[in-house]
């Protein structure tokens, strides 16, 4: 029988002939043979090794509001330490439904349309695995967050990456129209976008609604940076588009909004029929998300300034980094949302973006992520991604080193 049909391959390890013991080594047939340690881990290790300033990771290096920590401790002291309800703590689901209705206009019923997940990552996984079947196609846009394609592949489905246009990282709607076919089960969008930091506008959503009208395509909308939109622009997500909201799942994350990426709490908002399927996966994957944090977040969110102030906070950081890098050799690309800034270097270095980042870490002690890491085909436009979710001292120190860079 072949290893493919048995799904494991047992090989005998006989390195030492003197020992007659044959130790069988279990070699599973990988479902993701080409996936190795991800780029964030590799760059993280290099950053640590060279004691570089970390502008690679999308995690804040400043603390969350102490009040949030205190509310969590209070919830723990009050005994909220056992399993939360599978769908999430009701007060948090109600707070979310209220927030989304107020900000975006769509009413999600807290009972059967709001689910608290153990991070946005889990929300993405639960949504895709609940709704995408083997043989289906899922369209998404590159450069992209790294989890979409592997999750699709794990369902036996086909990820179909379309490239965002250069230089402005927009969706090519005509290409999308030409790519949609009867096998298309899902389209994944992400706004504000990681890594390009571009945002969709109302006309984009209209176009998406038009292209999916009269189909059974589900839209999975990754909106983890929903509260980080700059220059007075509004966030346009699926909950602000009545037609799209009927066929969409909005996934978001408390980690990004409240500077607690380690807490692993996110949420999925979707019409009841979609939510029912998503919860079937969620209940067997995590059953529920952490209890005390959910209670704390529900109370904390009662004050809308906790999330409405985020755009200002990050816009100041963006503006600071952009102004500090004016004297650097980089060409900075426009940044409309999220906490990432793209920078071109091809005019002063002929290195590949990966080699360039390694050199930056080694010689200038600043880390970033090469943009090619966000493409399945490794497209290299000689661009790096900096994260500005950092305190002022870190941004200043990093910019000083980057300004001294030579080709
Ligand atoms: C676009 C995007 N989606 C999802 C996630 C995952 O969010 P979480 O940390 O809540 O799993 C991230 C995290 O970096 C992200 O950038």
The stretch 75-80 carries a mean pLDDT of 98
Looking at residue 35, its pLDDT comes to 87
* Residue 15 clears pLDDT 50, i.e. is over it: no
Looking at residue 259, its pLDDT comes to 97
pLDDT band at residue 3 using 50, 70 and 90 as cut-offs: very low
Q: Ligand 1 center to residue 39 CA distance, Å?
A: 15
Task: Report how far residue 197's alpha carbon sits from residue 137's, in angstroms, rounded to the nearest whole number.
Answer: 26
Task: Specify whether the CB–CB gap between 205 and 244 falls below 8 A.
Answer: yes
Task: Specify whether the CB–CB gap between 308 and 380 falls below 8 A.
Answer: no
Sequential DSSP letters for 109-177: PTTTTEEEESSHHHHHHHHHHHH--TT-EEEEEES--TTHHHHHHHTT-EEEEEEPPTTT----HHHHH
The stretch 28-55 carries a mean pLDDT of 90
When comparing pLDDT for 10 and 219, which is higher? 219
Cβ count near 307 (within 10 Å): 18
The DSSP code for 229 is B
In Å, how far are 40, 43, 47, 118, 286 from 50, measured between CA atoms?
A: 15, 11, 5, 33, 37
Q: Ligand 1 center to residue 58 CA distance, Å?
A: 9
Average pLDDT over the chain, rounded to whole?
A: 94
Cβ contacts of 62 within 8 Å, gap of 6 or more:
259, 390, 391
Please, where are the H alpha helices in 217-335?
242-245, 254-257, 272-285, 291-300, 305-308, 310-324
Residue 224 tokens read as 């983890």
Q: How many helices (H) and strands (E) does the chain have?
A: 16, 15
pLDDT band at residue 46 using 50, 70 and 90 as cut-offs: very high
Looking at residue 407, its pLDDT comes to 67
The stretch 42-49 carries a mean pLDDT of 92
In Å, how far are 165, 344, 378, 404 from 398, measured between CA atoms?
A: 30, 16, 26, 10
Q: Ligand 1 center to residue 356 CA distance, Å?
A: 25
In Å, how far are 10, 13, 131, 216 from 134, measured between CA atoms?
A: 28, 36, 10, 16
The stretch 256-275 carries a mean pLDDT of 97
pLDDT band at residue 38 using 50, 70 and 90 as cut-offs: confident
Looking at residue 305, its pLDDT comes to 97
Looking at residue 89, its pLDDT comes to 98
Instruction: Report the percent of the chain where pLDDT is more than 90.
Output: 90
From the list 303, 302, 307, 297, the residue with the least C-alpha distance to 84 is: 297
Which residue CA neighbors atom 16 of ligand 1 most closely?
Answer: 194
The stretch 66-89 carries a mean pLDDT of 98
Which of 59, 115, 120, 149 to mutate for ligand 1's pocket (most ligand atoms within 8 Å of CB)?
120
Which of 40, 141, 194 to mutate for ligand 1's pocket (most ligand atoms within 8 Å of CB)?
194
Looking at residue 173, its pLDDT comes to 98
When comparing pLDDT for 6 and 374, which is higher? 374
Looking at residue 19, its pLDDT comes to 52
Q: Ligand 1 center to residue 18 CA distance, Å?
A: 52
The stretch 35-57 carries a mean pLDDT of 90
Q: Ligand 1 center to residue 43 CA distance, Å?
A: 17
Half-sphere exposure of 77 (CA within 13 A, CB side): 6
From the list 312, 337, 260, 226, the residue with the least C-alpha distance to 61 is: 260
Task: Report how far residue 255's alpha carbon sits from residue 98's, in angstroms, rounded to the nearest whole number.
Answer: 19
pLDDT digits (tens, 9 = 90+) for 302-349: 999 999 999 999 999 999 999 999 999 999 999 999 999 999 999 999
The domain limits of the chain are: 39-58+308-403, 66-302
pLDDT band at residue 40 using 50, 70 and 90 as cut-offs: confident
Query: Where on the phi/psi map is residue 142: left (φ > 0), alpha (ψ -120 to 50), or beta?
Result: beta
Looking at residue 21, its pLDDT comes to 66
Q: Ligand 1 center to residue 3 CA distance, Å?
A: 35
The stretch 110-117 carries a mean pLDDT of 98
Ligand 1 lining (C-beta closer than 6 Å) = 58, 119-121, 145, 190, 194, 222, 224, 253, 255, 261, 266
Burial class of residue 397, CB neighbours in 10 A (0-12, 13-18, 19+): middle
* Residue 233 clears pLDDT 70, i.e. is over it: yes
* Residue 251 clears pLDDT 90, i.e. is over it: yes
From the list 399, 364, 357, the residue with the least C-alpha distance to 382 is: 357
* Residue 160 clears pLDDT 80, i.e. is over it: yes
**Do the domains 39-58+308-403 and 66-302 sit in the same CATH topology, yes or no?**
no
Q: Ligand 1 center to residue 172 CA distance, Å?
A: 24
Task: Specify whether the CB–CB gap between 159 and 153 falls below 8 A.
Answer: yes
Which residue CA neighbors atom 7 of ligand 1 most closely?
Answer: 120
Atom in ligand 1 nearest the alpha carbon of residue 253? 10
* Residue 9 clears pLDDT 60, i.e. is over it: no
pLDDT digits (tens, 9 = 90+) for 297-312: 999 999 999 999 999 9
pLDDT digits (tens, 9 = 90+) for 19-34: 556 778 888 999 999 8
Q: Ligand 1 center to residue 120 CA distance, Å?
A: 6
Task: Report how far residue 124's alpha carbon sits from residue 2's, in angstroms, rounded to the nearest whole number.
Answer: 34
pLDDT band at residue 269 using 50, 70 and 90 as cut-offs: very high
The stretch 251-259 carries a mean pLDDT of 97
Atom in ligand 1 nearest the alpha carbon of residue 338? 16
From the list 282, 296, 321, 365, the residue with the least C-alpha distance to 85 is: 282
Q: What is the pTM of this model?
A: 0.94
Q: 340-344 and 366-367 as β-strands: parallel, antiparallel, unpaired? A: unpaired
Q: Which CATH number fits domain 66-302: 3.40.630.30, 3.40.640.10, 3.40.50.2000, 3.40.50.1100?
A: 3.40.640.10
In this structure, CATH architecture of domain 39-58+308-403: Alpha-Beta Complex (3.90)
Helix (H, G, I), strand (E, B) or coil at 401: helix
């Amino acid at each position: 029988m072949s290893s493919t049909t048995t799904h494991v391959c047992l090989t005998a390890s006989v390195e030492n002939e003197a020992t007659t013991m044959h130790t069988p080594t279990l070699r599973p047939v990988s479902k993701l043979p080409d996936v190795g340690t991800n780029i964030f881990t590799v760059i993280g290790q290099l950053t640590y090794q060279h004691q570089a300033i970390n502008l690679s990771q999308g995690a804040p290096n400043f603390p969350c509001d102490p009040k949030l920590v205190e509310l969590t401790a209070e919830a723990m002291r009050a005994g909220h330490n056992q399993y939360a309800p599978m769908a999430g703590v009701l007060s948090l689901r109600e707070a979310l439904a209220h927030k989304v209705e107020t900000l975006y206009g769509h009413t999600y019923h807290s009972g059967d349309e709001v689910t608290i997940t153990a991070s946005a990552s889990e929300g993405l996984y639960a949504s895709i695995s609940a709704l995408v079947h083997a043989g289906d196609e899922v369209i998404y846009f590159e450069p992209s967050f790294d989890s979409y394609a592997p999750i699709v592949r794990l369902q036996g489905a086909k990820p179909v990456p379309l490239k965002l246009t250069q230089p402005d990282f927009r969706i090519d709607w005509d290409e999308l129209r030409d790519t949609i076919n009867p096998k298309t089960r899902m389209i994944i969008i992400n706004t504000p976008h990681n890594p390009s930091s571009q945002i969709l506008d109302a006309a984009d959503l209209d176009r998406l609604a038009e292209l999916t009208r009269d189909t059974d395509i589900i839209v999975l909308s990754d909106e983890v940076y929903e509260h980080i939109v700059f220059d007075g622009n509004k966030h346009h997500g699926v909950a602000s588009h009545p037609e799209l909201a009927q066929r969409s799942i909005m996934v978001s994350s408390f980690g990004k909004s409240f500077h607690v990426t380690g807490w692993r709490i996110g949420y999925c908002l979707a019409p009841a029929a979609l939510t029912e399927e998503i919860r079937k996966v969620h209940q067997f994957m995590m059953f529920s998300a952490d209890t005390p944090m959910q209670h704390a977040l529900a109370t904390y969110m009662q004050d809308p300034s906790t999330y409405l102030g985020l755009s200002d906070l990050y816009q100041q950081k963006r503006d600071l980094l952009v102004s500090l890098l004016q004297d650097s050799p980089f060409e900075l690309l426009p940044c409309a949302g999220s906490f990432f800034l793209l920078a071109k270097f091809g005019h002063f270095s002929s290195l590949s973006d990966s080699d360039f980042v390694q050199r930056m870490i080694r010689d200038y002690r600043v880390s970033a992520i090469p943009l090619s890491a966000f493409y399945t085909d490794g497209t290299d436009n000689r661009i790096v991604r900096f994260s500005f979710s950092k305190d002022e001292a870190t941004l200043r120190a990093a910019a000083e080193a980057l300004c001294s860079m030579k080709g």
